[in-house]
A and B are shown apart, each in its own frame.
Chain A
Amino acid sequence: MEPSGTQGVVSDFSRDKQVFGMPWGKAMMWIFLLSDTFIFSCFLVSYMTVRIGTTDPWPVPSEVFALSFGGDPIPLILIAIMTFILITSSGTMAMAVNMGYRKDRNKTFWLMAATALLGASFVGMQAFEWTKLIVDEGVRPWSNPMGAAQFGASFFMITGFHGLHVSAGVIYLMVVAARVRNGFYEKRGGNYEIVEIAGLYWHFVDLVWVFIFAFFYLW
């Protein structure tokens, strides 16, 4: 019987065994995500610092990111849609992990494919958003017509880095999904822990977006 609570922490770290009772890939993914947390934190904290420090008015995201479908512009609507898409993809990913542990290869594959597709559509909308901001509204990393010059640098760095993570995640998911389908993991003892590891990465990307949405778009 493994001790639990603080006794368990002492025991896990000091006993003659691996500290984290999980496949090494999963422990390494957690540690990678911890390091990534610090990267995104640095971006968001820098954004906070320049936003506090500027004397010029900060552009109002609600207006900058408004979009009109023929009628009056709806505030922040594209960002809201992107948020819902990412949450939907997190749900399909959670299902894929569950189906992976049930060794239901077919469902795991299709759920992962759906997750990747939703992720790709998120990146597509982000490309649209960037184009609109650069071409139509004249936002540059060093200036913009709406207010503080630091707005552009913060926006492109934060959403660009997040978009790169989503793009990498789409590729990662497609590789794992293809291997689930072609029986790659069957030949290695039918262990689908890799689906959960890919899932951790994907949920993290969604998690980062929660913070970007709150601090950059809503604040």
Chain B
Amino acid sequence: MASEEGQQHPLSVYFWIWGLLFVLSFFSYMVDYMNLQGTLRWTLILVFMFLKAGFIIAIFMHMQWERLALKLAILGPPAAILVLIWLMALEGNYVEETRVEYYGESTFEPQAPPHH
């Protein structure tokens, strides 16, 4: 538990999480490398992302061993971002529909990026 001496934990915990973060990063890179598409791609990206973020916050930043008061004070407020995401997704869709209605579909001709 958190004490006056600060956060002192066995080294093995860090090595485990370190290895796990490598494996998870490798998997998330594989999602792109294997060219997975659609719902499967988005689900895997989010799963690996939340696992990595969770381990970094809980273990590396020691949140797991902090008191509930700090957990709530720091992890609670970002929940408001979910509302922003929802509103901005609505707004984005509205903008897209309006553009299609008034300007028509895109006539953009993409050029293939040069490879080096």
A50 within 8 A of B: yes
CA of A94 to CA of B6, assembled, Å: 14
**Which applies to chain B's interface (DSSP): helix, strand, loop or mixed?**
helix
Please state if A12 and B56 are interface contacts (CB–CB under 8 Å): no
Report the interface size class on chain A: 35 or more
| Most chain B C-beta atoms within 10 Å of own C-beta, residue among A64, A93, A210 | A210
Name the CB-closest residue of A to B9. Answer: A98
Please state if B85 and A145 are interface contacts (CB–CB under 8 Å): no
In the complex, per-residue mask of B85-105: 1 if CB is within 8 Å of any chain A CB, else 0: 100110111011001100101
A200 within 8 A of B: yes
| Most chain A C-beta atoms within 10 Å of own C-beta, residue among B61, B72, B88 | B61
Interface size on B, residues (CB 8 A): 66
**Which applies to chain A's interface (DSSP): helix, strand, loop or mixed?**
helix
Residues of A within 8 A of B (CB): 4-6, 8-9, 12-13, 19-22, 27, 30-31, 33-34, 37-38, 41-42, 45-46, 48-57, 59, 62-64, 66-68, 73, 75-76, 80, 83-84, 87, 90-91, 93-95, 97-98, 101-102, 132, 136-137, 145-148, 193, 196, 199-200, 203-204, 206-207, 210-211, 213-214, 217-219
| Closest CB pairs A-B (n = 10) | A52-B92, A53-B95, A214-B49, A12-B69, A91-B18, A55-B106, A56-B108, A49-B92, A49-B88, A53-B92
